[in-house]
Amino acid sequence: MKFTVPGKWILVGEHAVVRGAPAIVAPLSSRSLILEESTELEASPLQTALEKIAETLPGLSEKFSRLKVSSDIPVQAGLGSSAALSVAVARYLEAHDFLPNEEILAKAQEFENIFHGSSSGLDLAAVSASGPIFFRRGEDPKPLTCAWTPKIYLHDSGTRSSTKECVEHVANQNRKDLDQLMAMAVDGARAALRLSEAEGISLLKDAILTAAKCFEEWGLMNAESAALTEKLYRAGALAVKPTGSGNGGFLLSLWENTPPEEFRGLPGF
Ligand code: PMV
């Protein structure tokens, strides 16, 4: 049996979502993680992460010593690799009758907390979804109504950061104004996606720029992200922001027309 789970990317709503604001997030269908039984295990950061999860499940260590994780989701990049691993392991437990179906998400959240501290659950909801969702902590995610498909691409800043540290950095600033601004970006993006492309694109651009401003104000734009942002704007991007916890990781860009190949990165949709 094979358990395949995609990555995820966040359109808008990071950080404020931890304190109850909504967010828009989508599965990253071009990248996925696979968990399967195998006798040929190779050392990797994800295999180590799986061992950490196994430590919380005494009695299953023999079964887990035969589980292999492979993935093309970049690790620690804000693209949901730990959420994908957590969901894959919870599904594996369910399939082998170690977990009731209705507890898959709660168990995956326990695993995710090993890596992220207390997360909003946004990543888990996204990697479990079949399309973009509107998410609010503690509520069932709602499928997002999209009347058009924005040209959105994801680009690697080449640097990595810890989600836990970024979340703490933002929480310590206690900037309620920025949480509110991020919530406005989410409202704007949601409305933009319900309109036609011609009517919605400038609203979506403004929403992404508003979210980008929050990242700047929180001090979560490192030099590499700032340089890549400049490069994307010079190539014609309409709006650019970090996707995920920031301070490195991946950036998201919105385009009016399909960008030149070298700026296509990973397609969001
Ligand atoms: O896992 P990341 O780096 O994509 O961050 C998830 C989004 C945050 O809002 C920063 C944290 C959370 O738990 O929602």
Which residue, chain included where needed, has tokens 């991007």? 237
Using CA atoms, how far apart are residues 79 and 9, in angstroms rounded to an integer?
6
Q: From the CA of 62, how far away is ligand 1's center (Å)? A: 32
Type of residue found at 104:
I
Average pLDDT over every residue of 9-15: 98
Of 79, 136, 167, which is best to mutate to test ligand 1, by the most ligand atoms within 8 angstroms of its C-beta?
Answer: 167
Using CA atoms, how far apart are residues 205 and 237, in angstroms rounded to an integer?
10
Q: Which protein residues are within 6 Å of ligand 1, measured from CB?
A: 10, 14-15, 17-18, 78, 119-120, 122-123, 163, 167, 244-245
Closest CA to 6 of 112, 58, 64, 79: 79
Quick one: pLDDT at residue 167? 93
Assess whether pLDDT exceeds 80 at residue 243. Answer: yes
Assess whether pLDDT exceeds 80 at residue 118. Answer: no
Q: From the CA of 23, how far away is ligand 1's center (Å)? A: 10
Q: From the CA of 49, how far away is ligand 1's center (Å)? A: 18
Closest CA to 91 of 136, 128, 65: 128
The residue contributing the CA closest to ligand 1 atom 1 is: 78
Quick one: pLDDT at residue 248? 96
Q: From the CA of 63, how far away is ligand 1's center (Å)? A: 31
Closest CA to 21 of 145, 170, 222, 128: 170
- Relative to beta strand 67-71, strand 133-135 is unpaired
Assess whether pLDDT exceeds 80 at residue 61. Answer: yes
Question: Are 144 and 135 in contact, with CB atoms under 8 Å apart?
Answer: no
- Relative to beta strand 151-156, strand 266-267 is antiparallel
Quick one: pLDDT at residue 115? 86
Using CA atoms, how far apart are residues 18 and 171, in angstroms rounded to an integer?
9
Report which ligand 1 atom has the smallest distance to the Cα of 120: 13
Print the SS3 string covering 4-61: EEEEEEEEECCCHHHHCCCEEEEEEEEEEEEEEECCCCCCCHHHHHHHHHHHCCCCCH
In whole numbers, what is the pLDDT of the chain averaged over residues?
A: 96
Using CA atoms, how far apart are residues 120 and 124, in angstroms rounded to an integer?
9
The residue contributing the CA closest to ligand 1 atom 13 is: 119
- Relative to beta strand 250-255, strand 2-12 is unpaired
Instruction: Provide the pLDDT confidence category of residue 261 given band limits of 50, 70 and 90.
Output: very high
Q: From the CA of 40, how far away is ligand 1's center (Å)? A: 33
Assess whether pLDDT exceeds 80 at residue 117. Answer: no
Output 113 or 218, whichever has higher pLDDT. Answer: 218
Q: From the CA of 200, how far away is ligand 1's center (Å)? A: 26
